[in-house]
């Protein structure tokens, strides 16, 4: 781990030196590779946090020839096409074999990254939900050319797992009308439990917001912690459900976390993919266990029921 951190520091230093050159070259790259209409498409994994999105992201990127932002490419978040190119040159079609993570974060250079900074080039940092009208048309064009040029250059679909994108579906589908969306859901009680444990392990104050921000997150931030988590999950999933209705059936798939191993090959078919090297679906361990006190569990259950009663299904 220390060696990887040292190497990461060196790469950042080198990148700081060459970055001005890459910035100059980026428009040339986009013009060259966005001239040709690509038949490839972006794929977005969306859902509430702690619903299995990271393990699905890891499985799909490990066993298929898909472009994705790994931790190396993520260092180039301002000039991502060059980061993707470098990753392709160094790792080619090697599997990353990374199936562990810490709250969505992975460690090795080739392991998949959420790369939040990549999306900050076009989306605001203070909120996740946006309308098409919130984004400058120049930024929309830039986003389209950046992503499309990478797919055109390498001749592959690209898959993203950044859960804030679930609150940006209206914009993303406007920019990429051929995009595919995988919507992951989980029993909300266990989702809330996982969120609660993650916050405690990270020493996040109950008064602070953590992870995906739904439209009214500032209002919810004043709630008690159990109610806040219940409202966060319900609101994130409601927004996704509403926005995904506008997308053709052939471009969307909803999966329950609990059904993930049994439906993994269905996901492959949905994405028109074939597994690369052997993969044993039985290795995908999906469990829902009670890991909090009975007091916390009852508070989370009660809070979610109250949200349902107040907001509706």
pLDDT digits (tens, 9 = 90+) for 4-36: 557 778 777 878 788 888 989 999 999 889 777
Joined together, the tokens standing for residue 60 give 């799909």
pLDDT confidence of residue 121 = 94
CB atoms within 10 A of CB 122: 19
Nearest to 212 by CA among 167, 275, 263: 167
pLDDT digits (tens, 9 = 90+) for 97-132: 888 877 777 778 999 999 999 999 999 999 999 999
Sequence-ordered list of residues with C-beta below 8 angstroms from that of 48, at least 6 positions apart, any chain? 163, 166, 185, 186, 188, 191, 212, 232, 233, 236, 237
pTM: 0.93
**pLDDT band for position 278 (cuts 50, 70, 90):** low
pLDDT confidence of residue 37 = 75
Range of lowest pLDDT (72-81, 90-99, 160-169): 90-99
Nearest to 80 by CA among 151, 171, 179: 151
pLDDT confidence of residue 313 = 66
Joined together, the tokens standing for residue 189 give 């009680």
* Pair 284, 59: CB distance under 8 Å: yes
pLDDT digits (tens, 9 = 90+) for 138-162: 999 999 999 999 999 999 999 999 9
Joined together, the tokens standing for residue 112 give 């998949």
Task: Give SS3 for 182.
Answer: strand
């Amino acid at each position: 781990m220390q060696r990887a951190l040292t190497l990461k520091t060196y790469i950042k230093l080198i990148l700081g030196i060459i970055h001005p050159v890459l910035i100059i070259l980026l428009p040339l790259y986009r013009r060259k590779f966005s001239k040709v209409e690509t038949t490839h498409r972006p794929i977005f994994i969306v859902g509430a946090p702690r619903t299995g999105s990271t393990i699905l992201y890891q499985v799909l990127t490990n066993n298929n020839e898909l472009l994705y932002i790994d931790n190396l490419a993520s260092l180039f978040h301002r000039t991502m096409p060059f980061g993707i190119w470098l990753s392709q040159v160094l790792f080619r079609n090697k599997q990353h074999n990374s199936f562990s993570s810490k709250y969505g974060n992975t460690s090795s250079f080739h392991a998949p990254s959420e790369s939040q900074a990549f999306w900050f080039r076009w989306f605001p940092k203070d909120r996740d939900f946006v309308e098409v009208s919130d984004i400058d048309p120049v930024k929309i064009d830039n986003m389209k050319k950046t992503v499309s040029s990478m797919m055109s250059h390498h001749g592959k679909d690209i898959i993203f797992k950044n859960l804030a994108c679930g609150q940006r579906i209206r914009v993303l589908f406007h920019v990429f009308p051929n995009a595919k969306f995988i919507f992951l859901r989980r029993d909300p009680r266990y989702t809330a439990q996982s969120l609660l444990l993650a916050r405690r392990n990270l020493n996040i104050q109950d008064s602070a917001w953590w992870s995906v921000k739904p439209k009214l997150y500032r209002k919810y931030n004043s709630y008690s912690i159990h109610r806040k988590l219940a409202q966060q999950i319900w609101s994130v999933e409601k927004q996704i459900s509403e926005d995904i209705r506008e997308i053709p059936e052939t471009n969307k798939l909803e999966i329950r976390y609990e059904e993930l191993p049994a439906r993994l090959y269905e996901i492959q078919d949905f994405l028109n993919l074939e597994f690369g090297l052997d993969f044993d679906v039985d290795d995908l361990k999906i469990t829902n266990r009670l890991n909090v006190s009975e007091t916390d569990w009852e508070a989370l259950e009660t809070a979610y029921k109250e949200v349902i009663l107040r907001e509706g299904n």
